[in-house]
Every structure is written in structure tokens, then in C-alpha cells.
Structure 1
Amino acid sequence: MLARRPTLALAFGSVLACVPAAALTVPDDMAQRMQACVVCHGKEGRATNHGFFPRIAGKPAGYLYNQLVNFREGRRRNATMAYLVDHMSDAYLREIAGYFAGLDLPYPPPQTTGAPAAVLARGEQLVRQGDPGRGIPACTQCHGDAMTGVNPAMPGLLGLPRDYVLGQFGAWRTGARRAAQPDCMAEVARRMSLEDVSAAAVWLSSQPVAPGPAPAGSLPAKLPLECGSAAR
């Protein structure tokens, strides 16, 4: 009589029996728990310069916490994010925010290259000077001179995919993205033309990011607009 072949389960069990028990233990730490996040946001939350998903590594913890709360409470609309955070407590959302805020990782090269000089010039003007005649503050007035964000809750804008920046401005203009009132970014987005939004996104996504950028500790002056989420 022919000997029966071992089943796959038995064969797999035999292999596992040869592996030390310590090697089979999944570490219960934040890096392991956050594996669901890196599917979209890239390894360790650093994202890439391709695609729509933003970098979250190194962002101010207050900003990341605010966004997690906004997804949970419906002020930002994304079915996947809402599902992930729906039953998470404020304390755990702060723990997640603190984990990603503490990551200091290299940025990818600039996504946009070869943009028209006139578009880049307009984008830089909006970022650094704004457009006072139309009530548009400079991006640096809220996001810091280095555009790497300001603690506790203003995000950096460098290293973001161009399409992500465009998409978020569109969401603010239509009300699909909201923040704690008064919603300063929604007001800025409404004041900017589509051409202005595109120019700013092109300039931002054209800029290299030096190693080790960190959010500024504070802004040198008062915010140009009242912003409900600035200090949360």
C-alpha cells in the first residue's frame, strides 16, 4: 500500500515546530500596530512622491491628532480612515499621532520638475508673500518660514504630492473637508482662484526638503486669520 502524503497543515506544522517560539511572536508595539497605515501612507508613514496619499511622518502631533478626530467625527471624508478610527479613543488617537510625529525620516526627491517659470514664480509669491489685495495670507504666516510646520498643530507643506495639495484645496472649497471652527483653511481656499491653487501646489511639490526638517516651535507673529484648530 502506498504511504499517504502528509497534509499541507501537517507539513506546515512540522516547519513551525522547527522555528524558535520567540521568532513566532509578533511584537506588540506601535510600529507593528500601525502596519495598516503604511499600506497607503508608505513605509513608516513617509509616503512617496507618487500618488495622492500624504506624508504623516514628522508632522506635528497636534495636527495629526486633529485630523484623526476629524475623520472620526465626519469633518473629513474618507471611508477607509473613518473605518479605522471609528471606535478609537481620544487617548489612543493621541498615541498614534505622537508615534508618527516622532519619526524623522528622509523625504523623497521633488515630485514636480520642469514647471513653467511663470507658474513657479506665482506659486512662490503666494507661499512667501500671499496676495494682500485679495486677502490671501502667505502660507509661511501659518506653516512657518521653512514650510515644515509649527508645533503644536500646523502641518508642513513640503514633500506633499501635488495632487494631494490640489485635492485638499478642492475639498475645502466644496465643504468635503472641514476643521474646527473658525475654519481658516476653508476661508483661504475660497479666496484663491483655481490658477492660484495650481501654482502653489506646483511650487510646493517642486521644492527639495533638506534632511532633518522639524516643525518650528512657534510662529513669530499672530496668525493672519482666526483658526480653530491651531492650538488643539
Structure 2
Amino acid sequence: MPSSLFVRALVVLLACLGGAGPVAAQEPATAHQGFGPDMAPRVAACTACHGREGQATRTGYFPRIAGKPAGYLYEQLRSFRDGRRTQPAMQHLLSNLSDAYLREMAAYFAAQQHPYPAPPPSDLSAELLARGRALVLEGDAARGLPACASCHGAALTGVEPGVPGLLGLPRLYIASQLGAWLTGERRALAPDCMAEVGRQLNATDIQAVAGWLALQPMPADARAVAAHPLPRPCSASTAGALP
């Protein structure tokens, strides 16, 4: 994380812990989707990087967390807190929070359903984008690579309770996370499906997949689907999905 954003997140966190008024002024304490008026100030440190109500910012890196499945968000919060995912600001913010608190945070952001902005234009070649499309929707049987859609849903909007959608994320972020699976920097609870997939990707695969996904518009119904219609290619844990 850029140092200025790290400092900003810490400042917001300290203000929240101290009950300072300015945070409430920046993030109005209003009830959202059945949550009490205290929730917005409690998650203000998250929104410093992830945007108001988790809708993401224009930095081009931090992912949108609004509307992601609650089970997925909870497992990611636990992974940061417990060291399976490494990011200094996230680990600092979550280090002393209980499972119950993390569940509340996850449920709050999962309940935030907001329109998505149009995807940015791409500077990648048509050939590279076609390769990305093929890997996402069809996989590569010769290399033992399952299609992203086989786990993340045919519409790529995710599957309840723990598989996130892949659309509406910055290209840089998608590429960095795929790279983290490839290098082993990112880990998940066993069975770690994404680690198996990541080890088979190369730099061109990652660029192609990230570029194609970032270019796709969000469907009218952006919610995660209730269940997979077919068996998934591997039994991934809820901590093992991409974003």
C-alpha cells in the first residue's frame, strides 16, 4: 500500500477508536440494510482505502468489497488477521479483532448493493484479450487449468456463501493477486484450490486474464448466485478464491 494511504487508514482508525467526531462527519452514521447507525463509524478505517461503503476508490488498486459474499469476506478478514494473507495495513487494523467482530464487518459490506461504474478502456491487444477470455470461460484442459467460471459462476458474479465475483475489479489488483498465488505469497486454508491453479499460470496468462476480466461490464444482476449447478473442479475452501 502506498505510504500516504497507510497513514490515512491509521489516522481514520485512531479517530474511530477515540470516538472522534470528524469521522462521523465524513461517513454519516445512517442505518444500511438493517444495520444500526454505529456501523459506518466502525468500518471507517476500511473505507479509507476501499471507498465509501466498500464501493472502491479511483486508485486503480484497492478492490471493491461491497456486495461480496459475507462468507468470503469473513474468511479474507480472518486470513489477514491470522497471517495467511500479508498486507501491513490490513494486518495492523485487524490484529486484535474477534471472529464475531469480523463477521459483523463482513455482513455489513456484503449487504451493500450499489451500481457499478463502467469498466475502463483497455490497451491490450485483441489476441491477448481473446486468450484471457478463453482461460476465464473455458480453461485449458491440456494444462489442467479449470475455467474461472467453473468456480466463480457462469456470470462471474460469485457463488454463495464464499466464492467472490471477478468483475468490477481493477486490472492491477487482479494481476497482483494471481501473481501472489503463483509465487506462494498468498495462501488459504486447505484445500487451497487457487494455489493449485496459480502454480500453472505464467506471466502472459495473468496479464490476459486480468485484462479481460477488468474489461467486462457488470450484468444487471450483480449478486452472487445461490449455488453451483454443477460440481466444482476442486474443493476450494472459502478462503481460497481470488480477490
Shorter-normalised TM range: 0.7 to 0.9
Rounded to whole Å, the distance in 1 between the matches of 2:220 and 2:58 is: 16
Task: Give the corresponding residue for 1:83.
Answer: 92
Task: Give the corresponding residue for 1:14.
Answer: none
Cα 1:42–1:191 change in 2 (3 A) is: same
| 176, 183, 189: which one aligns with 2:198 | 189
Once the two structures are TM-superposed, the CA of residue 223 in structure 1 deviates from its matched residue by 1.3
Rounded to whole Å, the distance in 2 between the matches of 1:146 and 1:227 is: 19
TM-score norm. by structure 2 comes to 0.81
Q: What does residue range 55-204 of structure 1 map to in structure 2 within 5 Å?
A: 55-204=64-213
Cα 1:211–1:42 change in 2 (3 A) is: farther
| 29, 51, 64: which one aligns with 2:60 | 51
| Amino acid of the structure 1 residue aligned with 2:76 | Q
Cα 1:148–1:173 change in 2 (3 A) is: same
Structure 1 stretches of at least 4 aligned residues deviating more than 3 Å after TM superposition: none
Q: How many residues align?
A: 207
Rounded to whole Å, the distance in 2 between the matches of 1:35 and 1:195 is: 37
Deviations 1:96-145, CA, capped at 9 Å, x for gaps: 00000001111122134353111111111011100011000000100001
**Which segments of 5 or more consecutive residues in structure 1 lack a partner in the other structure?**
1-22
Deviations 1:57-114, CA, capped at 9 Å, x for gaps: 0000010000000001000001111111111111110110000000111112213435
Once the two structures are TM-superposed, the CA of residue 211 in structure 1 deviates from its matched residue by 4.1
SS in 2 for 1:217: coil
**Which segments of 5 or more consecutive residues in structure 2 lack a partner in the other structure?**
1-24, 30-36
The alignment's C-alpha RMSD in Å is: 1.8
Structure possessing the higher radius of gyration over alpha carbons: 1
Rounded to whole Å, the distance in 2 between the matches of 1:74 and 1:230 is: 12
Rounded to whole Å, the distance in 2 between the matches of 1:210 and 1:49 is: 21
Once the two structures are TM-superposed, the CA of residue 49 in structure 1 deviates from its matched residue by 5.4
Cα 1:49–1:225 change in 2 (3 A) is: farther
| Amino acid of the structure 1 residue aligned with 2:168 | G
Higher relative contact order (CA 8 A, sep 6+): 1
Deviations 1:120-172, CA, capped at 9 Å, x for gaps: 11111011100011000000100001101000000000010000011101111
TM-score norm. by structure 1 comes to 0.84
Deviations 1:10-29, CA, capped at 9 Å, x for gaps: xxxxxxxxxxxxx9xx8452
Once the two structures are TM-superposed, the CA of residue 212 in structure 1 deviates from its matched residue by 4.1
Comparing 203-212 with 70-79, greater Cα deviation is found at 203-212
SS in 1 for 2:215: coil
Rounded to whole Å, the distance in 2 between the matches of 1:115 and 1:49 is: 20
Rounded to whole Å, the distance in 1 between the matches of 2:237 and 2:222 is: 25
SS in 1 for 2:204: helix
